[in-house]
Structure 1
Amino acid sequence: MAQSPEDMARTMIANMPAKTGKSLDEWVAIINASDLEKHGEMIKLLKTEHGMTHGFANLVGHAARGGVTLDAAPSPDLVEAQYAGPKAGLRPIHDALIAAVSAFGNDVELAPKKAYVSLRRTKQFGLVQPSTKTRLDLGLNLKGVAPNGRLEASGSFNAMCTHRVRLESVSAVDAEVIGWLREAYDAA
Structure 2
Amino acid sequence: MDQAAQTMIDNLEKNSGKSLDEWIALVKSSDLSKHGEIIKLLKEMHGLTHGYANLVAHKAKGSDAGSAANLADLITEQYKGKEALKPIYDQLMVEIKKFGVDVEVAPKKAYVSLRRKKQFAMLTPATKTRFEIGVNLKGDESSGVLEKITSANSMCSHKIKLESAGEISAETIGWLKEAYEQAG
TM (norm. structure 1) is 0.66
Alignment counterpart, residue 186 of structure 1, candidates 178, 181, 184: 181
Tell me, yes or no, if structure 1 residue 61 matches structure 2 residue 22.
no
Q: Return 5+ residue gaps in structure 1 as ranges.
A: 13-53
CA distance in 1, matches of 2:154, 2:70: 22
Tell me: CA distance 1:110–1:73, structure 2 relative to 1, closer, same or farther (3 Å). Answer: farther
Superposed CA deviations along residues 89-110 of structure 1, whole A, max 9, x for unmatched, are 0000011111111111111111
What's the TM-score once normalised by structure 2's chain length?
A: 0.67
Question: Corresponding residue for 1:150?
Answer: 145
Shift of 1:4: 3.8
Question: Which segment drifts farther, 169-178 or 69-78?
Answer: 69-78
- What RMSD over aligned residues (CA atoms) do the two structures have, in Å? 2.8
Post-superposition Cα deviations, 1:148-182, rounded to whole Å, max 9, x if no partner, equal 22111123497111111111111211211110000
Q: Are 1:77 and 2:73 an aligned pair?
A: yes
1:159 aligns with 2:158: no
User: What count of residue pairs does the alignment treat as equivalent?
Assistant: 144
CA deviation string 1:75-130 (max 9, x = no partner): 32111011112x10000001111111111111111111111111111101110111
Please name the residue that 1:176 is paired with. 171
Tell me the distance in 2 between the aligned counterparts of 1:155 and 1:62.
33
SS of match in other structure, 1:94 = helix
Provide the C-alpha distance between the structure 1 equivalents of 2:19 and 2:13, rounded to a whole number of angstroms.
10
Regions of 4+ moved over 6 Å: none
Q: Which has the larger radius of gyration?
A: 1
> Contact conserved, 2:113 with 2:119, CA < 8 A, in 1?
yes
Task: List runs of 5+ in structure 2 lacking aligned partners.
Answer: 25-55, 60-65
1:57 CA displacement: 2.0
Confirm or deny: 8 A CA contact 1:110 1:119 kept in the other structure: yes
Identity %: 45
Q: Say which SS state the counterpart of residue 78 (structure 1) adopts.
A: helix
Amino acid at match of 2:20: A
Asked if the contact 2:12/2:19 (under 8 Å) is kept, the reply is: no
